Structure 1
Amino acid sequence: MEKAKVYFTDFRTKPFGDGLPAKLKKLIKEAGIGQIDMDGKFAAIKLHFGELGNISYLRPNYARAVADVVKELGGKPFLTDCNTMYPGHRKNALEHLECAWENGFTALTVGCPILIGDGLKGTDDILVPVSGCEYVKEAKIGRTIMDADVFISLTHFKGHEMTGFGGAIKNIGMGCGSRAGKTEQHSSGKAQIDETLCRGCLACMKQCANNGLSFEEENKKMRVNTDNCVGCGRCLGACNFDAIAFDFNAAVELLNCRMAEYTKAVLDNRPHFHISLVVDVSPNCDCHGENDVPILPNIGMFASFDPLALDQACVDACLKATPLPGSQLADNMELPGFIDHHDHFTNARPESEWRTCLAHAEKICLGTRAYELITVK
Structure 2
Amino acid sequence: MPSTVYFADLRASLKRPFNQKLDELMERVGLESRIRPGAQTAIKIHFGERGNTAFIRPVLARRFAEAVKRAGGKPFFTDCNTLYVGSRAEAVGHLHTAVENGFAYSVIGAPLIIADGLRGASEAAVRVDLPQCELAYIGAEIASAEALISLAHFKGHEVAGFGGTIKNLGMGCASRRGKLFQHSNISPTIRAERCIACGQCVRRCPGLAIRLVKRGPDMPPAPAGSEKPELCAVKDAEKCIGCGDCILTCPQSAIEIAWDAQIPQFMRRMAAYTKGVLAGKERTSVFFNFITNVSPTCDCYPFQDAPIVQDIGVVASDDPVAIDQASVDLVNRALGLSHSCLKNSHHSGGDKFRDIHPKIDWELQLESCEEIGLGLREYELVTI
> How do 1:282-321 and structure 2 match up within 5 A?
282-321=295-334
**What is the SS of the residue equivalent to 1:333?**
coil
Whether the aligned pair in 2 keeps the contact of 1:203 and 1:238 (CA below 8 Å) is: no
Whether the aligned pair in 2 keeps the contact of 1:85 and 1:236 (CA below 8 Å) is: no
Distance 1:22 1:98 in 2: 31
2:268 aligns with 257
Whether the aligned pair in 1 keeps the contact of 2:197 and 2:212 (CA below 8 Å) is: no
Give 2:170's aligned amino acid.
G
Residue 96 in 1 paired to residue 94 in 2? yes
Whether the aligned pair in 2 keeps the contact of 1:161 and 1:351 (CA below 8 Å) is: no
Distance 2:244 2:306 in 1: 36
Distance 1:238 1:290 in 2: 21
Distance 2:20 2:97 in 1: 26
Whether the aligned pair in 2 keeps the contact of 1:21 and 1:65 (CA below 8 Å) is: yes
Residue 86 in 1 paired to residue 84 in 2? yes
> How do 1:133-144 and structure 2 match up within 5 A?
133-144=130-141
Superposed CA deviations along residues 66-95 of structure 1, whole A, max 9, x for unmatched, are 111011111100000000000111100001
**What is the SS of the residue equivalent to 1:7?**
strand
Distance 2:318 2:188 in 1: 38
Whether the aligned pair in 2 keeps the contact of 1:180 and 1:236 (CA below 8 Å) is: no
TM-score of the two chains, using structure 2 as the length reference: 0.89
Whether the aligned pair in 2 keeps the contact of 1:184 and 1:231 (CA below 8 Å) is: no
Among 200, 214, 233, the alignment partner of 2:243 is 233
Q: Which moved more, 1:31-40 or 1:114-123?
A: 31-40
Distance 2:170 2:137 in 1: 10
Distance 1:69 1:235 in 2: 37
**What is the SS of the residue equivalent to 1:319?**
helix
Quote how far apart the aligned CAs of 1:58 are.
0.8
Superposed CA RMSD: 2.1
1:106 aligns with 104
Superposed CA deviations along residues 296-355 of structure 1, whole A, max 9, x for unmatched, are 1111111111111111111111111110111101xx229xxx9x9941110122122211
Residue 346 in 1 paired to residue 354 in 2? yes
**What is the SS of the residue equivalent to 1:265?**
helix
2:213 aligns with 216
1:204 aligns with 204
**What is the SS of the residue equivalent to 1:301?**
strand
Give 1:150's aligned amino acid.
A
**Identity, % of aligned pairs?**
39
Superposed CA deviations along residues 222-254 of structure 1, whole A, max 9, x for unmatched, are 31124x255623543772635532122211221
Whether the aligned pair in 1 keeps the contact of 2:43 and 2:151 (CA below 8 Å) is: yes
Among 347, 365, 372, the alignment partner of 2:380 is 372
Residue 192 in 1 paired to residue 189 in 2? yes
Give 1:262's aligned amino acid.
Y
Distance 1:341 1:204 in 2: 51
Distance verdict in 2 for CA 1:198–1:243, change over 3 Å: farther
Whether the aligned pair in 1 keeps the contact of 2:332 and 2:352 (CA below 8 Å) is: yes
Distance verdict in 2 for CA 1:341–1:314, change over 3 Å: closer
Residue 163 in 1 paired to residue 160 in 2? yes
- Provide structure 1 residue ranges, at least 5 long, that are not aligned to the other structure: none
Give 1:280's aligned amino acid.
N
Superposed CA deviations along residues 24-72 of structure 1, whole A, max 9, x for unmatched, are 1221112211221331000000011111111111110121011110111
2:280 aligns with 269
Whether the aligned pair in 1 keeps the contact of 2:80 and 2:139 (CA below 8 Å) is: yes
Superposed CA deviations along residues 152-171 of structure 1, whole A, max 9, x for unmatched, are 10000011112111010001
**What is the SS of the residue equivalent to 1:366?**
coil
Whether the aligned pair in 2 keeps the contact of 1:162 and 1:351 (CA below 8 Å) is: no
Distance 1:223 1:181 in 2: 23
Distance 1:68 1:46 in 2: 15
**What is the SS of the residue equivalent to 1:328?**
coil
Give 2:165's aligned amino acid.
A
- Provide structure 2 residue ranges, at least 5 long, that are not aligned to the other structure: 215-227
Distance 2:349 2:151 in 1: 29
Distance verdict in 2 for CA 1:198–1:253, change over 3 Å: farther
1:6 aligns with 5
Count of matched residue positions in the alignment of Structure 1 and Structure 2: 363
**What is the SS of the residue equivalent to 1:137?**
strand
Distance verdict in 2 for CA 1:6–1:341, change over 3 Å: closer
Distance 1:5 1:326 in 2: 34
Distance 1:222 1:23 in 2: 56
**What is the SS of the residue equivalent to 2:149?**
strand
1:279 aligns with 292
Whether the aligned pair in 2 keeps the contact of 1:150 and 1:272 (CA below 8 Å) is: yes
